[in-house]
Amino acid sequence: MKQLEFSEFYEANRDVCLRAVLAGVGDRQLAEDLVAEAFTRAWTSWHVVRRHPAPRAWVVRTAFNTRVSWWRRRRREVAIDVVPDTPEIAAGDRGPDSGLDPDLLAALRGLPERQREVIAFRVFLDLDTKATATALGIASGTVTAHLARAVATLRGHFVSTDNLEVRS
């Protein structure tokens, strides 16, 4: 029973969770590793996750938390002079299997981390503001502010003022 229920959840949600994490971290290989780890943790805690109000959000939040844990562990192991805030586009990110337009992915990488996380939950997981705030552990107003800033930045990348018409 547990295995069948989890298998159905995994099959129905792995792609959307991967796209959300990819939007948040900007690196396909890292996103795949994080989502795999998050689904593994979901399997081991399935009795809790299945009763969560937003199990997909649980998986994505776990993936983001895992990224932080991995980064902290790696930081202690290897001294790095400069850690890039926005990684370069990896060859695997350009393929048709990424699920995201390469231009959109590049623009998402240019956003601050919290804005990428808000986009991941609000847009890719289609959570409302309150659920996103709960998942990220921030206030609803903060979610709204980050979403507005992210959308304005993305609009600047994709909408040319030459193409806009003034409507009366």
Is 168 inside a domain boundary?
no
Is 80 inside a domain boundary?
yes
- Tell me, yes or no, if the pTM score tops 0.75: no
Domain assignment of residue 115, given as a range:
2-160
Is 42 inside a domain boundary?
yes
Q: What is the pLDDT of residues 128-168, one digit of tens each?
A: 999 999 989 999 999 999 999 999 999 888 886 665 554 44
Residue 85 has pLDDT above 90, yes or no: no
Instruction: Give dist(CA 85, CA 121) in Å, integer.
Output: 20
Task: Give the helix ranges, DSSP H, for the chain.
Answer: 2-25, 28-44, 46-49, 55-77, 102-109, 113-119, 129-136, 140-158
Is 167 inside a domain boundary?
no
CB atoms within 10 A of CB 59: 29
Query: For the residues 85-103, what does the mean pLDDT come to?
Result: 54
Is 132 inside a domain boundary?
yes
Residue 61 has pLDDT above 70, yes or no: yes
Percent of the chain with pLDDT over 70: 76
Query: Residue 143: which CATH number?
Result: 1.20.140
How many domains is the chain partitioned into structurally?
Answer: 1
Residue 83 has pLDDT above 60, yes or no: no
Is 49 inside a domain boundary?
yes
